[in-house]
Amino acid sequence: MVAVCDDARQAARVEALRARLPALRAVVLMDELPAPLLPRDPALESALLARAAAVTPAADASIVYTSGTTGLPKGCRLTHGNLGAIQDATLPLIKGGPGTRRTSTCRSPTCWPS
C-alpha cells in the first residue's frame, strides 16, 4: 500500500501511524511522486491485469461522500459504467481526435471504448 499525501502535514500524520500500518510501503507527496512509485513486480502486474479484465460496467469504481452539511453524511456509488458515460459525454469537448494521447487514472477496460 502507498499513501499519497497532498502536503507535508498530511504525510507527517500518516508517518505517525506507520507502526500501525504494516502494509504501508511508502508515503509520498503529490508534488514529489517518484517514477516508478514502486518496483515493478511481474506477478503483481499480471494479477492486477486479470482483476481489471474481470471488472464489469456495473461494478463499483468509486464512492463519493458528502460532508453531511444538510443532514447525515451520505455516500454515492459510481460504477465503471458511470465513469465510461462521463468520458463518452466529455471526450467530444476535448481538443484532439483519434490517436490523441490523454492522461487518465482509470485503468479499467470498461473506461476505454474499443
pLDDT of residue 49 exceeding 80: yes
From residue 22, alpha-carbon distances to 1, 10, 40, 78 in Å are 9, 18, 20, 30
**pLDDT tens-place string over residues 53-97:** 899 999 998 888 888 788 888 888 999 999 888 888 887 777 665
The domains of the chain are located at 1-38, 55-98
- pTM surpassing 0.75? no
Closest CA to 61 of 87, 99, 35: 87
31 within 8 A of 6, measured Cβ to Cβ: no
